[in-house]
Amino acid sequence: MSLQQPIYIFADLDDSLFQTKRKCPKTGTLFTAAKDRLGMPLSYFTGEQKILLTFLQQGTLIPVTGRNTAALDRVQLSFTSYRITSHGAMVLDSNGKPNEEWLALIQAQCMQWRENLSAVLVQIETHIVNANLALRCRVIEDQGVSVYVSIKGEEGALQYLLATVWELWKAEGVQVHHNGENMALLPPFANKARAVAFLMQRLHDDGVSPLFMGIGDSLTDLPFLQLCHYAIIPRGSQIQEMIGN
């Protein structure tokens, strides 16, 4: 193996490389990792996470995030290569613009699922009101494309809603991402593993064999982590809890 072999790190962001202050240790220095829409600090790196990021500078960091492009732009990291956003629904080139080849692959599914996402949103909203749940939901858009239904709020309320969600959100290829206070109803084209596999093929096209590493915390990250040569899993993450059980 050549010492010049390129290294690419496909990394989930929230709860993998940083987290909200509520989830941070009570002691130790924190560093701003992401800001909210008003420009105020929202998420933080711990000292250990900053050390990890220094180590990762040996390679090229490619985010694989549930954030859409606008939310990714509020992250205090510099990305110089591809970016995967909206749980795998969107692939961006190094200039931050949608990859045209990827858009061509998902275009038909995007059009097909636009009305489905809106219809399910109305059903979920009705259930939330009727059950008096402390939750909020909306259809997330990325680059003008409706990409998934986001539901956020109190973890117990999301757990209560889960059975209803599974009943409403059942079709070939769909996924339900549920971790803590976040839930996302993902259509077939919002698939992190599919987007990572697409980029891996492109990164092989120049005749070299890169080393692929993955970082993720959620069960829905596992499929793309399994495509990588090595995987890094944060302590206390959803994946680690599953392994421990």
58's tokens: 């040996």
Q: How many CA atoms lie within 13 A of 193 on its CB side?
A: 15
Over residues 125-137, mean pLDDT: 95
**Percentage of the chain modeled with pLDDT above 70:** 98
Does 212 have pLDDT greater than 50? yes
Buried-exposed string 113-126: b where 16+ CB fall within 10 A, e elsewhere: bbebbeebbeebee
pLDDT of residue 243: 84
Residue 15's SS3 state is coil
Q: Can you say whether residue 29 is alpha, beta or left, with left for phi > 0 and alpha for psi between -120 and 50 degrees?
A: beta
Q: Which domains does the chain have, with CATH numbers?
A: 7-100+191-244 (3.40.50.1000), 104-186 (no CATH)
**How confident is the prediction for the chain on average, in pLDDT?**
94
Q: Which helix (H) or strand (E) holds 232?
A: strand 230-232
What DSSP element (H or E) covers 146?
A: strand 145-153
pLDDT at residue 137 in the model: 96
Stretch 39-65: mean pLDDT, rounded? 97
Residue 208 — very low, low, confident or very high, per pLDDT cuts 50/70/90? confident
pLDDT one-digit tens code per residue, 156-189: 999 999 989 999 999 899 999 999 899 999 999 9
For residue 218, which of 238, 234, 232 has the smallest C-alpha distance?
238
What distance in Å separates the CA atoms of residue 109 and residue 98, rounded to the nearest whole number?
16
Burial environment of residue 9 by CB neighbours within 10 A (0 to 12, 13 to 18, 19 or more) = buried
pTM for the model stands at 0.94
In the three-class reduction of DSSP (H, G, I as helix; E, B as strand; rest coil), residue 204 is classed as helix
CB 212 within 8 A of CB 200: yes
